Chain A
Amino acid sequence: MMDFSIYGDDSNALIRFDPRTKLFIFLACGVTSLYTYSGLYILLFAGAVCAVLALNGKPITALKAFLIFAVAMYIKETVDHAGSSSSVVVLIVSVLTTLVLYSLPTILSILLIVQTTRISQFLSALTAMHLPVRAVIPVAMLFRFIPTVQDEWNGIRKAMAFRGISLSFGSVLRHPGKTIEYVLVPLLFSTIGVMEELAAAALARGMDVDVKRSAYEQVRLSGADYIVMLLFAALSAAIVIMVTAKGAEGF
């Protein structure tokens, strides 16, 4: 049921951006999402993220995301300009549209990193950024292990079906404690087993925090990378400056 595809595939990409550029975009999105900015800027910023996503080989995802932006913008504007209404509904609608408008760029930037970057590329980028091996290993392991957990989870759900253990809403409500136990116990036992074998294998192949690692995947910042980074830096700066200036006027 759960399938978060995290194997990066950039085979359809027009431009393959450096993982560091993607990280920069991620950071820019994280910062700008703290500010309430409006209209044109949202479309510009979201458009830029979608464009990068499209260039990196996911045009359909990008198009869908942009349409969601546009519709959310449209709803927000009309609701803002519409007259009176009951406060609760307005609050709920505006909370929802705000969430979409300000957090979708970040979600897209995560998609950009996860779906278009292979883990080895990502690790190479982290290594190129001189991050210590200590920091790199858990991140790498996180990505490596997610498919394993999914796999185990799917297996356990099947095993539950044979044992007459249901995960339907009703039965979870009736026996919450039991359900949690029946989910956690096999999941943890089997994943811990895999985890230990994996650690043994990695160590036997010479992975060691005290030894400097090198990276096979080549990461290099190209002209396109610099342009995109510059663009995002400029956009975020513009948003931040604009909002703070407005704030000074008494928003």
Chain B
Amino acid sequence: MIQFKNVSFHYGGENGTGEGVDHLNLTIQSGEVVVLCGPSGCGKTTMTRLVNGLAPHFFPGELEGEVWVDDLCVSTASLSETSKRVGSVFQNPKSQFFNLDSTGELVFGCENQGMGREEMQQRLEQTVADMKLSALLGRNIFELSGGEKQQIACGSVYTAQPEVYVLDEPSSNLDRKAITRLHETMRRIKDAGKTMIVSEHRLYYLMDLADRFLYLEDGIITGSYTPEGLRALSDGALAALGLRCTDLGTLKQSPLIGEIPHGGKPVLETVDLSCNRGSHQILDIDRMSIPAHSIVAMIGDNGSGKSTLTESLCGVIPSSGSIAFDGTYLTDRERAKRSFLVMQDVNRQLFADSVIEEVMLNAPTSRQEAEQTLDSLGLKEQMERHPASLSGGQKQRLAIASALCAGKDILFYDEPTSGLDRGGMERFGALLRQMQDRVTSVIITHDPELILQCCTHILHVENGRILSFYPLDAEGVARMRWYFLSECEDSTLKKREKLGMFGKVLQYAGNEKKYTYWAVAFMVIGALCSAVPYYGVYTLIGRLLQGNTLRLEDALPAVISVLVFGILYAVTYTVGLQFSHRAAYHTLEHLRVSLQEKLEQQPLGNVQEMGTGTVKKRFTDDIESIELMLAHVIPEGISNLAVPAVILLLLVAVDWQMALLTAILLLFGFGASRQMYSVGMDRMGSYFAASKRLNNTIIEYVSGMEVVRVFNRQGKSDQRFVDAVNGYRDFALAWYQVCWPWMALYGSLLTNIVLYSLPFGALMVVLGHLSLSRYALALCLSFAIGPMLLRTLPLIGAIPQVNYKIQALEKALDRPPLKCGASAFAGTDHSVCFDQVRFAYKSDEVLKGISFTAHEGQMTALVGESGSGKSTIARLLSHYYDVSAGKITIGGQSLQDMSLDALNGEVAYVSQELFLFPESILENIRIGRPDATDEEVKQAARMAQCEDFILQLPQGYDTPAGLAGSKLSGGQRQRIAFARVLLKDAPIIVLDEATAFLDPENEQKMNAAIAGIVRNKTVLVIAHKLSSIVHADQIILLQRGKIAARGTHEALMRESEDYRSLWAASEESQLWRLKGGEST
């Protein structure tokens, strides 16, 4: 039980924020969950601090009255005493942990109490079990997501087992997934019978947890609501109280949002944007453009790459690809100049000592203009104050003002409304609308209330890709709302692995890693051997130079050693080369296998979407180029580096000063080459993007040639072609221009070491510091080093490229795998049920909440215009894709529980196109059921009206499909496909435009065949020709992803205007086709 006895508190000293409380009298029963709400500055946080004792023990101030927790007066007890009864969870996940590892943090409270180890162990185990934290144990706190951090914070309190939990705005920094987790955690705490006091702005997630809502205003409790009472308040009433919504489902879009800008010139465009962090590619964005004067909400779960995308666009982190502002491609630095990011922690971006100085800093505006801007943002009165003394909202506006004064085109915001009350959020939304004419805004946000206040577009990011970009019209609002309301998966962020350049490649070497090590060992031994002959030569020269005549027996040992070590070098080098090749090819093998494994788990739809071209390119071309690099980089790189290193060391022994000179020259050379790579890589992305644009334009140009000539549009098309070529030329030249000075520098340094060491050595000889023979040897050695290193340089440059390609490959296949279970079919019957199914291909939502049931023994027809979503339904039922939302069941069993094999046994799908394998026609039909006998196959062919034309083929059933393929018409192909289905005899049959290419006579036969198999089966037919489905048991009319009408043909003809017009159109085209003769 918690009691406030006439409590007043006002901050003093450093924390004079004015958020005090007055004359609080309150009793909270044990096990009660009380939510403190009210506008910012109402005293909610102060109340939580009074309970956990931080006020007045940490935040000094004047206190009257007493706060009691059970029999402890927390106002006078020490904090350590209070902490045994009261546990606290704070707002900011980044500042509430004392440890760097999660396990340490969980037991932190217990350690502070001086608890024994056994007891701690026991409690820790219990917490982990109760709160389901096992995946989070022993992790680096800095790598956890915000939601996971809050889970740990709650768990840490739970381990200390206090009776009272105090949570101060725990959801402020969380996304929807994390709020779900927080909600679950709080539910568990409540179920354990603990008392909870929550101070919070977001109310909707607390509605089923709270027992009582206390409303504070200016430090006084002015209202108390039950959850029902609060829910009953209208939106207007909540707004008057300054409270946020209680139910996300009822949120309405603000009528103040102006016209949604579309068309026109996009203010921001990107092509082929990718960004690599550590050893992973994070972004993979094909194309994106943002219209001018829009307010875009960037949504997506934590860790989906929103911040990385934003920072790449702003040019503050390196990325590759091209990004254009207002149609001009800009470098990183130019983009940083023209964009601005209002950070979540705005303290980081305030530099000056007064508000006016802040906005004038490096800004090209006059003081007068700056004052005007401040005035428009309501900061005029604060002009002379220090930025740090402003409130959070004011600081945010100040940062915006500084961006406006600096004349930025695009403003990005990182979760600007976390921790804002309703008033603050609405003011912020109004501000964005007000600025709409001047700038384009992109907001990373988890706050649907803000989105509905001001945004015009939604940019949904998932897993480093743009999932969709759509305007926020009525349909967009429904789609967005669905995102925020839908259940989200509960997954734990994976441990981040840190791998260096070599690590990434070696990861794929697997068990054959040892070959790499052997290769290195042999190469190094070889390098050592290669240095010895130099020494032999040196002794010989030494003798000669000393004026001795060279006799054979004196020279023999040296000559022999030169020979022996030369041979040794050749042998070890060859062996090493062998090992390294073995390593390289094994690595490639593992790479291919792992990619194939990933590809298999992908939804079939995704693979198709990528196009066989892309998949082929990835599997063959990209891996091929990696192969080339691996097989050369590893062996030659190692030997070319090891030999110079050994020689350099030898040179140290000969004369260390010459070695020093050489080393310094080499360092400069390497420095120059590094410099070249770093400048070169900066522009590499743009260069590649330009070349891709050029390629695309060429393809377009060539394939459009016919149209261009026919319609005489040459001028326009030529112009585009010329532009692309020029663009490419400019980029290539720019790239080369940056690189060539460095290339020249390192080239000359590395090849001409002797040029510098020759005079230096001569000087040393003259001075008598160096003997002539050593000088000669040193020169020999110098000669050897340069060319080798020069050969190494491109190889060193190749390693990042290999890495880049591997990362791109991994990224291409990291889309979420198809969700399918392992269970066999266990449905009660074979009726197919779609329940509120939604599905989106990229930005277009194709199905918008489809529900219907196709019963067993019936024929269900799906009709509608092209693009209404008919074929999508068929593909979803065959599990080509996972649904975006909703559920598909067969006989009550969810599609996602079934294994693909099981599903294949149940569903036969005839698509519009037929793929014939290069086998005989007989075998091609047999694919339907591999264990069918020849007779069964022929039977099926007869039923599908195939036999006539098959027998006319040169070899009948045994005609190879390749030979027959070109002779088969579309209708004949469809009949072969149908024969397959008949043979397969699956209980559910999906026919997607199965009779599209048939002539009327065959169509009739086919319809008869279909009618013949319908019995006891579930049949779904997608048809353009409505005449073929007039007898269907149920006809579903789809319009733009929704069901417009359903019923039998007669009923629909009677009731549905849309159906009648569709029918009329279909009949008309039928006539037209009949007149046109047999279609192909």
Q: Which residues of A pack against B, CB within 8 Å?
A: 5-7, 71, 74-75, 78-79, 82-85, 89, 93, 118-120, 140, 143-144, 147-148, 151-152, 155-156, 158-159, 161-165, 181-182, 185-186, 189-190, 193-194, 197-208, 210-218
Contact = CB atoms under 8 A, between A and B. Distances in A.
Given A120-B103, A158-B316, A162-B314, A211 B114 contact: yes
A147 B100 contact: yes
B84 A189 contact: no
A194 to B, nearest CB: 5
A50 B157 CA distance: 41
A162 B332 CA distance: 11
A197 B362 contact: no
A78 B341 CA distance: 56
The 9 A-B residue pairs whose C-beta atoms are closest, nearest first, are A206-B83, A120-B104, A159-B349, A197-B95, A208-B80, A206-B112, A190-B347, A201-B96, A216-B107
Given A186-B351, A201-B88, A214 B111 contact: yes
Interface size band for B: 35 or more
B52 A204 contact: yes
Nearest to A207: B112
B660 interface: yes
9 contacts: A7-B100, A162-B349, A163-B361, A164-B362, A197-B96, A198-B95, A204-B58, A205-B112, A214-B120
A218 B120 CA distance: 12
A144 B99 contact: yes
B78 interface: yes
Given A7-B142, A120-B101, A89 B660 contact: yes
Interface string B326-354: 00000001001101110101011111010
B455 interface: no
A7 B112 contact: no
Interface stretch (B647-655, B727-735, B960-968): B647-655
B1035 to A, nearest CB: 58
B656 interface: yes
A200 B58 contact: yes
Interface string B66-101: 000000000000111011101110101011111111
B110 A216 contact: yes
B340 A194 contact: no
Contact of B54 (A71, A156, A204, A218): A204
B169 to A, nearest CB: 12
Contact of B652 (A78, A85, A148): A78
Given A163-B361, A186-B349, A206 B94 contact: no
A144 B98 contact: yes
A109 B630 CA distance: 36
Contacts of B157: 205
B656 A78 contact: yes
Nearest to B412: A162
Nearest to A121: B104
B109 interface: yes
A118 B100 contact: yes
Contact of B117 (A85, A185, A214): A214
Given A119-B99, A159-B349, A204-B79, 15 more contacts: A7-B142, A83-B769, A140-B98, A144-B100, A151-B94, A156-B348, A158-B317, A159-B343, A161-B333, A164-B362, A186-B347, A201-B98, A206-B80, A206-B109, A207-B98
B100 A119 contact: yes
A185 B351 contact: yes
A6 B157 CA distance: 26
B217 interface: no
A55 B656 CA distance: 35
B88 A75 contact: no
A180 to B, nearest CB: 12
Given A89-B660, A148-B94, A165 B114 contact: no
Contacts of B656: 75, 78-79, 82, 93
Contact of B58 (A75, A83, A203, A210): A203
Given A144-B98, A163-B349, A197-B96, A84 B769 contact: yes
Contacts of B402: 163
B95 A194 contact: yes
A205 B88 contact: yes
Nearest to A162: B340
Given A120-B103, A216-B117, A89 B657 contact: yes
A133 to B, nearest CB: 10
B889 interface: no
B124 A216 contact: yes
A213 B58 CA distance: 20
Contacts of B121: 216
Nearest to B121: A216
Contacts of A194: 92, 94-95
Nearest to A217: B104
Contacts of A75: 652, 656
Contact of B339 (A162, A181, A203): A162
A212 B160 CA distance: 16
Interface in B401-422: 402-403, 406
Nearest to B91: A197
Contacts of A217: 104
Contacts of B655: 82
Contacts of A144: 97-100
A201 B95 contact: yes
Contacts of A162: 314, 316, 336, 339-341, 349, 403
Contacts of B23: none
A136 to B, nearest CB: 11
Contacts of A204: 52-54, 58, 79, 83, 86, 88
Contacts of B79: 203-204, 206, 208
Nearest to A213: B111
Interface in B110-127: 110-117, 120-121, 124
